[in-house]
A and B are shown apart, each in its own frame.
Chain A
Amino acid sequence: MSELMPVILALTILISGVAGAAVLTWFERRLLGVWQDRYGPNRLGPLGIGQVVADMIKLLFKDDWIPPFSDRVVFIFAPTAIVVAMMMGFAVVPFAPGMMIIDVNIGLLFFLGMTSLAVYSVLLGGLASNNKYALLGGLRSAAQMVSYEVFMGLSLMGVVMMTGSFSLVDIVEAQTEVWFCFTQILGLIVFVIAGIAESHRLPFDLPEAEHELTAGFHTEYGGMKFAMFMLGEYLGLMLISCMIVTLFFGGWHGPMFIGDWLPPFFWFSFKTFIVICFFVLLRAAIPRPRYDQLMSLGWKVMLPITLVNILITGAALLWIEGVA
């Protein structure tokens, strides 16, 4: 049975990941509706949840058109890459004690690696479309993601230093008493910002930037291939939220003042849900910076912050060791 556990879990995650992303499209629109003084989808089914099915049917039945001027193979490959990479990222997420597909001692690096792979999807999609707007979108994403990857990795070093391990289970267990969101506040801030940039959602949706580049890198995509991009984006959103919870908000642990009397999986999913809501709120509230402003924010503000964070964390750890 225990050998079968990861397989069952993997299938469950695969299915619930896709379903979750689909529901998230509905949930996001409803939530935006609440904040924006309007309804959002509310016609099909209770609270409009049937909209998810309707959207899926529509996307499935759309003509699967590949532009004759595009690079066919790459054009088809690009949207699958993001979904696969994001799905793989879920392999190392510890949902509850023992409830994860694989506990590797480089879990964190694996996660970072998988999110990096997702860049290729956007980049190749933009290039293969042979469309100027898509090209500009691809260019922006290349620059944006490559630079934000640096801070994303570095911002987690504080957590790693405090835990002494790259394993996500170890990281969660290290937070039994104090969550890293208190001790690693700078790391959290940088990681959240880099996380939004990685999942290219507003305000960092520059590769897409509908007001500037119509639809950016996926201008030429429609039907299921477009749906794959959207799926990838929502999976990315969920993955980043899971990671924020895992790395900074104690993973499956309940809040200190409440304790662990509720099931760990509840705490994990509840906290992830809150983070997702926060991302949706961000999307509703903030304007989009210009591409060069985003870059200079990254290199001039975020990079120094992460470096300072690493220094402070290191110094503090050494100091504590010295005292002990």
Chain B
Amino acid sequence: MQTAESMVHSQVEEGLYRQFGREQFTVQPTADSILTLWVPRALLSDILRFLKPQFSMLYDLFAIDERTRENRSGQPAADYTVVYQLLSMERNDDIRIKVGLSEPDLSLPTCISVWPNANWYEREAWDMFGVVFDGHPNLYRILLPPTWEGHALRKDHPARATEMAPFEMGPERVAKEQEALRFRPEEWGMEKASDDSEYMFLNLGPNHPSVHGVFRVALQLDGEVIVDSVPDIGYHHRGAEKMAERQTWHTYIPYTDRIDYLGGVMNNLAYIQSVEMLGGIVVPERAKIIRIMLAELFRISSHLVFYGTFVQDVGQMSPVFYMFADRERLFGIIEAITGGRMHPAWFRIGGVSQDLPEGWDTMIREFIDYLPARLDHYDKMAMQNKMLKERTVGIGVYTKQEAIDWGITGPGLRATGCDWDVRKKRPYGGYDQFDFDVPVSHNGDCYDRAELRIEEIRQSIRIIRQCVDNMPGGPYKSDHRLTTPPPKERTMEDIETLIHHFLNVSWGPVVPTGEASVMIEATKGINSYHLVSDGGTNSYRTRIRTPSFPHLQQIPLISNGLMIPDLIAIIASIDFVMADVDR
């Protein structure tokens, strides 16, 4: 695909060819026109190191089981593929590096020394596919329990319990599981004692009031001071990526709602846009603006939850109730429009599920007129509180460089002075038509992260107001063969439309072969679904890149040396949901 964008890549491409030789690379065309290069394993480390100065962030790292994929013409032979997606914020550019591995020898060198956030991604790839990263310091399972057998995202691993032998928890199994739960500090890279004192190990979570779900941090304490901390995830893992391989393109939409469960339709947007890119679907204006409006309403809802719980976690009891009451009003509107509340699953391939109901605009106008005054009120109540400031200012600081090194996106990145917002840098789905600011702050501490999100609520209100004032008319669904469910008006009039409707609803749409991922600025950072279509009614591989995953990984970096209450403030200021981490 020769588009204007691929011309931008050429500079990087030429550089690589000059350095390593053109014959080493195979270019793979993708639907999203991100430069995708297959490289030989032997050169991988050098190439990644060569690319690092230009692509400062490791955006994503994942594997694909290629063994049952039928349509991969032009791609080098491989049983498994490891994909490195790199992001350059300065030049607003991406690149994908792919390495093919063959079955008996699934190993490749680690790239932790190039991007520190590769650590968890590589563990995940090992956990899910059995790809070994040589030189990785702790290549243990990360999402699945240590006693799990097999690698769950391999094509030959069962996807359902009914495909496996009945699960039995006999005494032997109990003993094994219990033994696996035993905490040994050495395995977590922690020492039992220093020269002059013995450390206390505190297991914070997975069941703890302030970890926002099932998140565990093992703490090595000296008094109440955190000497070392190791986050442990996987308690909320539900195999969302595996489920995508069984569901049709259409029926997977409700699963996406539950990834970032505070983001609602925002998740649909990331998924649907990738599908639409694969299918080449152009969405009508009205659908675009409806989507943006709903997505921004959910951004407000998510940020309100953040605001309330953040303030509550530093010990202020009341504000969370006000914010939840406001969120309740918001859900009233969302319910009136979509019929659902937290997980409406309302966006569809090629548009949205229904047209807006009568009177939607008055409801939203009332809400956006009401909210700013409330926010001022909360600001006085919570953010201007001196005790809250003392708890959060200067706590959990990281710099812009550290944020980029650790793959931090969204408000967490913008609090360090970097104004990278996908809505501005790569206006997707119609954001280019809106007038709004990207709030930026510079201290990178807990307080700034919170304050920035509150400013984002105000900006979202601005966007929603523009949506209400300028909602275009026209269809809410695209007139495209892949639109699901297809427009039904003419089904009873001609047989072609009827058959088409029948197939698309019962069997599901067949999305053309290819690969695509589209970034969106989700509530918590950059979210994208890397979809691989093998020309079937379901996705061959769905990789969900979520913002919360890397955000948790860098907790030790900013909390070691502080006290337990500081860790709680840091955890609160990160704004994650565990489903968004574990998927």
Q: Could you tell me which A residues sit within 8 Å of B by CB distance?
A: 32, 35-38, 132-133, 136, 139-140, 202-203, 209-214, 283-293
A289 & B321 in contact (Cβ 8 Å cutoff): no
- Is residue B527 within 8 Å, beta carbon to beta carbon, of the partner chain? no
Q: Please report the C-alpha to C-alpha distance between residue A209 and residue B224 in the assembled complex, in whole angstroms.
A: 14
- A285 contact set on B, CB distance < 8 A: 316-318, 381
Docked complex Cα distance between A178 and B264 (Å) = 62
| Residues of B close to A286: CB separation below 8 A | 315-316, 385, 387
B203, B210, B312: which contacts A212 (Cβ < 8 A)?
A: B210
B155 at interface by CB-CB < 8 Å: no
Contacts of B192 in A (CB 8 A): none
Q: A203-B387, A286-B387, A287-B311 are in contact. Are A212 and B564 (CB under 8 A)?
A: yes
* Interface residues of B, Cβ cutoff 8 Å to A: 200, 202-203, 208-210, 223-224, 311-318, 321-322, 325, 381-382, 385, 387-388, 390-391, 563-566, 568
Residues of B within 8 A of A35 (CB): 318
| Distance A161 CA – B325 CA, assembled complex (angstroms) | 51
- Whether A132 contacts B200 in the complex (CB less than 8 A), given A209-B315, A287-B385, comes out as yes
For A139, what are the chain B residues with a Cβ–Cβ distance below 8 Å? 223-224
Q: 8 A-B Cβ contacts within 8 A? A: A136-B224, A284-B317, A285-B318, A287-B314, A287-B388, A288-B315, A290-B565, A291-B563
A212 vs B502: C-alpha distance when bound (angstroms): 56
Q: Which of B381, B385, B568 has the most CB of A within 10 A?
A: B568
Contact indicator A211/B209 (Cβ below 8 Å): yes
With a cutoff of 8 Å between Cβ atoms, the chain B residues found around residue A290 in the complex are: 390-391, 563, 565-566
Q: Are B314 and A288 closer than 8 Å at their CB atoms?
A: yes
Whether A287 pairs with B325 at a CB distance below 8 angstroms is no
Q: 10 additional contacts, CB 8 Å, given A202-B317, A285-B318?
A: A36-B322, A37-B322, A211-B209, A211-B568, A214-B208, A283-B317, A286-B315, A288-B391, A290-B565, A292-B563
B residues near A37, Cβ cutoff 8 Å:
321-322, 325
Contact of A211 with B312 in the complex, beta carbons under 8 Å:
yes
- Whether B200 and A214, one on each chain, are in contact in the complex, defined by CB atoms closer than 8 angstroms, is no
- Among B200, B315, B318, B325, the residue within 8 A (CB) of A203 is B315
The residue on A at minimum CB distance from B325 is A37
**A293 contacts B390, C-beta separation under 8 Å:** yes
Nearest chain B CB to A119's CB is how many angstroms away? 19
Alpha-carbon distance between A286 and B387 when the two chains are bound, in angstroms: 8
Q: Which residues of A contact B388 (CB under 8 A)?
A: 287
Q: What separation, in Å, do the CA atoms of A210 and B211 have in the docked complex?
A: 12
Taking the nearest CB of chain A, how far is it from the CB of B247, in angstroms? 38
Write the chain B residue with the least CB distance to A285.
B318
* Residue in chain A with minimal CB distance to B225: A292
Residues of B within 8 A of A133 (CB): 202
* Cβ 8 A contact of B565, one of A212, A214, A284: A212
Q: Is A214's CB under 8 angstroms from B209's CB? A: yes
Q: How far is the CA of A36 from the CA of B311 in the complex (A)?
A: 14
Report the bound CA distance from A253 to B94 in whole Å.
Answer: 78
Known contacts A37-B325, A287-B391: does B564 contact A136 (CB below 8 Å)?
Answer: yes
- Of all chain A residues, the one with the shortest Cβ separation from B315 is A288
Bound CA span A35–B385, Å: 18
A289 adjacent to B208 (CB under 8 Å): no
- The residue that B315 contacts in the complex, of A32, A136, A211, A214, with Cβ under 8 A, is A211
Q: Which residues of B have CB within 8 Å of A212?
A: 210, 564-565, 568
Check if B387 sits within 8 Å of A211, measured CB to CB: no
B508 to chain A, nearest CB (A): 45
Tell me, rounded to whole Å, the shortest Cβ–Cβ distance linking B553 to chain A.
22
Alpha-carbon distance between A28 and B410 when the two chains are bound, in angstroms: 40
**Nearest Cβ on chain A to B216's Cβ, whole angstroms:** 13
Nearest neighbor of B569 in chain A, beta-carbon distance: A290
Asked if A202 meets B202 with Cβ closer than 8 Å, knowing A289-B390, A290-B563, A291-B563, the reply is no
Contacts of A203 in B (CB 8 A): 315, 387
Does A202 contact B318, Cβ atoms closer than 8 Å? no
A211 contacts B210, C-beta separation under 8 Å: yes
Task: Tell me the smallest distance from the CB of B448 to a CB of chain A, in Å.
Answer: 17
Complex Cα distance, B390 from A324, in Å, reads 48
Q: Using Cβ atoms and an 8 Å threshold, which residues of chain B touch A289?
A: 315, 387, 390-391
User: What is the distance, in angstroms, from B331's C-beta to the closest C-beta of chain A?
Assistant: 16
Give the residues in chain B near A38, CB-CB below 8 Å: 321, 325
CB distance from B375 to the nearest CB of A (A): 16
Tell me, rounded to whole Å, the shortest Cβ–Cβ distance linking A292 to chain B: 7
Distance between A298 CB and nearest chain B CB, rounded to angstroms: 14
The smallest beta-carbon distance between A227 and chain B, in angstroms, is 21
| Residues of chain A within 8 A of B316, CB atoms compared | 285-288
Give Cα distance in the complex from A287 to B209, angstroms: 16
B328 to chain A, nearest CB (A): 10
Closest chain-A Cβ to B196's Cβ sits at a distance in Å of 19
A283 to chain B, nearest CB (A): 6
Return chain B residues, CB-CB under 8 Å to A287: 311, 314-316, 382, 385, 387-388, 391
CA distance A42 to B564 in the complex (A): 36
Complex Cα distance, B563 from A23, in Å, reads 37
Most buried by B among A32, A287, A293: A287
Docked CA distance A203–B314 (Å): 10
Question: Which of B311, B312, B313, B387 has its CB near the most chain A CB atoms (within 10 A)?
Answer: B387
Chain A residues contacting B381 (CB-CB under 8 Å) are: 285
Chain B residues with Cβ below 8 Å from A288 are 314-316, 387, 391, 565
Question: In the complex the two chains form, is B202's CB within 8 Å of A132's CB?
Answer: yes
Q: What's the Cα separation between A284 and B317 when bound, in Å? A: 5
Residue in B224, B317, B388 with the greatest tally of chain A CB atoms within 10 Å: B317
**Distance from B533 Cβ to chain A, minimum over Cβ atoms (Å):** 45
Chain B residues with CB under 8 Å of A293's CB are 390-391
Alpha-carbon separation in the docked complex, A76 to B456 (Å): 52
How far, in whole Å, are A19 and B433 apart by their CA atoms in the complex? Answer: 64
Given the interface contacts A36-B321, A202-B315, A287-B316, does A209 sit within 8 Å of B565 by beta carbon?
A: yes
* Cα A133 to Cα B385 with chains together (Å): 28
Question: Quick one: closest B residue to A36, CB to CB?
Answer: B321
B136 → A minimal CB distance (Å):
31
Q: How far is the CB of A302 from chain B (nearest CB, A)?
A: 15
With both chains docked as a complex, state the minimum distance between the C-beta of A125 and any C-beta of chain B, in angstroms.
19
Instruction: Tell me the bound Cα distance from A260 to B317 in angstroms.
Output: 39
